[in-house]
């Protein structure tokens, strides 16, 4: 197959098109301005890995800008001359291999950065409906599918320290795979967040739900409320009783 055919499709859900439309959307969410952030999608049929390049303005991303690797990630099937591969590539490949991911999203969300300043080793929020969009550590015995968190559960996302270079995050990222075997995301201190899922649709939904929860956690924190406090306990932290 010609390397250009890898990125040409009229299907808006083809990874080459979807990476671009999601980059545009994420840019306007303030998740990847200034060329920050990254994204990779595995083609659901060929299993080829599509990866947004380094240094490109996300709201201008075009299919021609993308790198494509073979399913075993041993060689590039397509390398745009103009760009360098994303520094996130080793992290993305680890998620594909170790988490059986179908897609990985990396943003510089300010809510993630703020939560990494407020929380020490893990982000925690409890008793919020939106938590139910995130899988728990339990699996349905019949279908084998992960069961979603319940409203009464606590969502915990590990926070790792940032390093000078993104590939140096690999060890700590993989350590969280051991310590939080069911997490779908890792926050990187003063940097942003990595989120993955079995499909790009799932990864996107996890990303939106977690970003919502991190935004809410910062708002609660500003009122003096620990985001993982018990239901009703929030009132004892408030100065003004209504």
| Those residues with Cβ within 8 angstroms of residue 31's Cβ, 6 or more apart along the chain or in another chain | 37, 107, 108, 109, 211
Q: Does 82 bind its own copies (CB under 8 A)?
A: no
* Positive or negative torsion for Cα 172, 177, 181, 187: positive
Q: Where are the beta strands (DSSP E) in the chain?
A: 38-42, 49-51, 67-69, 76-78, 103-107, 122-126, 135-139, 146-148, 154-160, 185-188, 192-197
Q: Tell me which stretch binds its own copies (CB under 8 A): 38-46, 90-98, 178-186, 209-217.
A: 209-217
Q: Does 34 bind its own copies (CB under 8 A)?
A: yes
| 199 near its own copies, judged by CB under 8 A | no
Distance between CA atoms of residues 230 and 141, nearest Å: 29
Question: Is residue 54 close enough to count as binding its own copies by CB under 8 A?
Answer: no
> Taking contact as CB under 8 A, which single stretch among the options 3-11, 91-99, 177-185, 218-226 is the one that binds its own copies?
218-226
Summarize the annotated binding site for Zn(2+) as residue ranges: 106, 108, 191
Summarize the annotated binding site for substrate as residue ranges: 88
Binding residues vs its own copies (CB under 8 A) = 30, 33-36, 57, 108, 110, 113-114, 117-120, 124, 127-130, 133, 150-152, 161-164, 188-192, 201, 204-206, 208-209, 211-212, 215-216, 219-228, 231, 234-235, 238-242
């Amino acid at each position: 197959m010609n390397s250009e055919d890898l990125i040409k499709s009229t299907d808006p859900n083809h990874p080459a098109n979807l990476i671009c439309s999601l980059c545009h959307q994420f840019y306007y969410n303030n998740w990847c301005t200034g060329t920050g952030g990254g994204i990779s999608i595995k083609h659901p049929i060929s299993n080829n890995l599509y990866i947004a390049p380094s240094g490109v303005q996300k709201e201008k991303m075009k299919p021609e800008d993308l790198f494509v690797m073979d399913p075993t990630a041993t060689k590039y099937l397509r390398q745009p001359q103009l760009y360098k591969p994303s520094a996130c590539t080793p992290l993305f490949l680890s998620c594909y291999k170790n988490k059986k991911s179908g897609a990985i999203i990396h943003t510089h969300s300010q809510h993630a950065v703020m939560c990494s300043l407020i929380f020490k080793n893990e982000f925690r929020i409890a008793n919020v409906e939106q938590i139910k969009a995130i899988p728990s550590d339990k699996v349905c015995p019949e279908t084998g599918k992960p069961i979603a968190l319940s409203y009464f559960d606590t969502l915990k996302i590990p926070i790792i320290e940032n390093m000078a270079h993104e590939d140096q995050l690999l060890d700590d990222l993989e350590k969280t795979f051991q310590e939080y075997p069911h997490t779908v995301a890792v926050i990187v201190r003063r940097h942003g967040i990595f989120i993955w899922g079995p499909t790009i649709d799932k990864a996107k939904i996890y990303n939106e739900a977690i970003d919502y929860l991190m935004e809410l956690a910062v708002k609660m924190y500003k009122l003096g409320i620990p985001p993982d406090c018990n239901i009703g306990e929030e009132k004892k932290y408030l100065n003004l009783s209504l």
